[in-house]
Amino acid sequence: MTVIAFIGLGNMGGPMAGNLVKAGHDVRAFDLSQASQDAAAELGVGIAGSARQAVDEAEIVVTMLPAGKHVLAVWEDILPAVKPGTLLIDSSTIDVASARRVHALAAERGCLSLDAPVSGGVGGAKAASLTFMVGGSEEAFALGEPILARMGRRIVHCGGAGNGQAAKICNNMILGISMLAVSEAFVLGEKLGLSHQALYDVASTSSGQCWSLTTYCPVPGPVPNSPANNGYKAGFASALMLKDMKLSQEAAQAVNASTPLGAAAAQLYGLHNALADGGADFSDIINMLRGRSGA
């Protein structure tokens, strides 16, 4: 049994902390929101009075927070209270620069650290089937992997500090762009008199095949479980896709990478958020291309 502090018990963090309890760990957690605290307490998570209190005897600390500024603030607050040698893991999706900054703060305190963002959504957090993309030293990874394995199914070490976040935003840039490509093809096909099923049957077994088509098809019918069959209810909210697209653009600017399709996609998801409110699934972008919102 390991004493684990868990800060940030929202839609993802709550069930992730619950899975660590299920695995037999002593989890001491904190969240600013009473509702998040109550939901996690029902899963057996111990609730502390503050983040500093939660880390008091922790051997491992996990944070799952909205954005880089929250992670920086929380790590700056708790680092003086953790013992040197403690492993800190941030699983939030944040900008690469902030991720590398908090690794440096941890090193100054004599602590080990990992950036370990996830994919798999709330369903994956509940089912402990997340994929973790991990950045940090070999030593930190060796210590953190068994803990991450209690919350996820696939753990990929992507290299040094910040590389987990780099892998996450590169992957999601592919996803955001590919959903637009698939959506544009369906809208064009409709205008050319092609049925959704016919285009699906061809593209899903041809060179247009991709996850956005075969798992998350943006029109109802061909893939029965995709959000298009459920009024475009998220799923993966357009607001979260916009967040990730902006992170990829920030990173591209910082290292002078040319990502013109990523830039266009970020603009289009920005427009979609303004029109359809960020709560709709990101595949609802097809309706914006048709000149309306299906959400």
Q: What are the residues binding ligand NAD (CB under 6 A)?
A: 7-13, 30-33, 36, 51, 64-66, 70, 73-74, 92-93, 118-119, 121-122, 240, 243
In whole angstroms, how close is the CB of 258 to ligand NAD at the nearest point? Answer: 25
Q: Which of 126, 168, 191, 246 is catalytic?
A: 168
In whole angstroms, how close is the CB of 150 to ligand NAD at the nearest point? Answer: 17
Nearer to ligand NAD, 94 or 228 (CB): 94
In whole angstroms, how close is the CB of 119 to ligand NAD at the nearest point? Answer: 6
The residue of the chain with the least Cβ separation from ligand NAD equals: 10
Query: Is 168 one of the catalytic residues?
Result: yes
Nearer to ligand NAD, 11 or 293 (CB): 11
Nearer to ligand NAD, 129 or 204 (CB): 129
Contacts of 125 (CB under 8 A, 6+ apart): 11, 12, 13, 14, 15, 16, 19, 118, 151
In whole angstroms, how close is the CB of 176 to ligand NAD at the nearest point? Answer: 14
How far apart (Å, rounded) are the C-alpha atoms in residues 117 and 129? 13
Nearer to ligand NAD, 65 or 167 (CB): 65
- Residues annotated as part of the active site: 168
